[in-house]
Chains A and B, each alone.
Chain A
Amino acid sequence: MVSTDVGVWIAAFFTIVATSYAFRDNIFFRFAEYTFIGAAAGHAIVMGVKNIILYGWTHIAGGEPSYWIPIILGILIYTRYHPKYYWIYRYPIAFLVGIGVGISIRGAIHADFIKQIAATAKPLIATTPLGTLNNIIVFVGTVTALTHFIFTYEGIHKGAAGWIPKIGRWMMLAAFGGAFGNTIMTRFSMYQGRIIFLLRDWLGIIH
């Protein structure tokens, strides 16, 4: 049975209109596009104000004056629009970058370097033949792909060892192919959700 819910009809309208762009650009699609941008911007502003209240003002009101510091730093970002004092915005940005890097770098070194090197530098012979094959592929792929990015020594690309970075390039191309296949799957899996919505929630054809 077709839905009688106005919200479902609005959602169905925007789903169909958004899909129509895949066939041809049209005024209805642009209406949907602008509506989405407006709604998303409105939501972001509300969430931003809510966050300032929840994670800034609540603390200040609770007797923690140190929370004025991030609020002042946040306000200073807007000095970039001032023709004379625009340089001040660099300080809160520097603060943000410093905090961001400081927080992430410790974990990144462990997870992205130490653990990855440890996971790659394991014995080639595994308990199963398939495991051994996997280890060999990982080892060959890592070493050859790394050699592809050696730009300071031309001999590695042109000399007798030129086949090594070439294998690395093929390894990367295979990885890009895999990533592209996954991208297609992701896009379809996103859209199938809307198809199910249209057929079930809107038209009531499926249950």
Chain B
Amino acid sequence: MSAWEKLAALPREIVLTIVLIAMIVPAIRPFGLPIMVGKMSKDWYNTVDSLPEGSIVLFDIGFGSGGYPTLGPCAVAALHQMFEKHLKIVIMATALEGSMMYPLIMEKVKPEKNYGAEYGKDYVFLGYIAGEQTAMAAVLGDIHTAVKEDYYGTPIEQIPLLQEITGPESFALVAYLTTSGGIAEGWVYQAYSRYKLPVVGGFLSMMTPSLKPYYDAGALKGILDGIKGAADMEYMTRHPGDAMRATDILSATQTIVLIFIVIGNISYWGSRLSKREGEK
């Protein structure tokens, strides 16, 4: 085995250990790299910021525990902004584990303590509603038929916020965070295409390239692009959290990955070159 091939055959245990170290070091000692707020995040922020006080927002938790490290901070920062603006929020979950994520998110937002918000009047949680696009169409079309009670079993007739909703036009904005491509497209189809409602979406970074055309076409007013979008939101809302800490970790690990890609390429081209020379 040539030196070039040895380089490519670096044991994965070593690679993973280096990556783990690159994650742990900046977590313990953050570099404090500056946050450059992206346009897509800024557009999400401005869309929410432009809503008049008391507007009703439909907020969908479309992710479970797998997406929580990325989209959890997005949800926390986004809800901080909405509560700060005194918007009224109807929260639902189109992901099966979404209702398990709700308490984790609200534990950090603390709407009652931080903003004096009242459950049922300023926000409500409907829980998981099965069916993805069917659920979206039903909730937007006629929430009173689609939902009989909130997550805690309170009949919707006893929830003042839901009494204010008379149809899809009652919603000033649809905001969602999801790890599912079906849910991501579904809200565009159901809320934007059908009812022309402003829609903002947050996704895993790996989903953003395929969903950005909706943003470019004006179907999505703003996008939170994974942990980067969450960090942007935390920065803009002045609620620093896990995402801002994560940017340092990601910068370090991405640099390590880049180095390994360069090493891999050097090894590949080097071994190719040495083979050619050997043939001559």
Contacts and interface: CB of A to CB of B under 8 A. Distances in A.
**Chain B binds chain A:** yes
Interface of A: 22-24, 43-44, 47-48, 51, 54-55, 58-59, 62, 99-100, 103-104, 106-111, 115-116, 118-119, 175, 178-179, 182-186, 188-196, 199, 205-206
Contacts of A106: 189, 193-194
Nearest to A22: B16
Given A103-B134, A192-B23, A195-B23, A116 B213 contact: yes
Contacts of A110: 189, 193
Nearest to B16: A22
Interface in B160-186: 185-186
B43 interface: no
Given A119-B213, A119-B218, A195-B23, A186 B148 contact: no
Contacts of A193: 68-70, 72, 242, 246
A58 B68 CA distance: 31
14 contacts: A43-B100, A58-B148, A100-B133, A111-B189, A111-B217, A115-B219, A116-B213, A185-B226, A185-B228, A186-B206, A188-B23, A190-B70, A199-B27, A206-B28
Contacts of B193: 106-111
B216 interface: yes
Size range of the chain B interface in the assembly: 35 or more
Most buried by A among B193, B204, B227, B257: B193
Interface stretch (B1-9, B45-53, B113-121, B248-256): B248-256
Interface of B: 12-13, 16, 20, 23-24, 27-28, 66-70, 72, 96-97, 99-100, 128-130, 133-134, 137, 146, 148-149, 185-186, 188-190, 192-194, 204-210, 213-214, 216-219, 226-228, 242, 245-246, 249-250, 253-254, 257
Nearest to A188: B253
A188 B16 CA distance: 12
B205 to A, nearest CB: 4
A188 B209 CA distance: 17
A175 B204 CA distance: 17
Contact of B69 (A24, A51, A192): A192
A107 B188 contact: yes
Nearest to B22: A188
A99 B134 contact: yes
Nearest to A36: B65
Contacts of B133: 100, 103-104
Contact of B250 (A23, A103, A192): A192
B219 A51 contact: no
Contacts of B130: 47-48, 51, 55
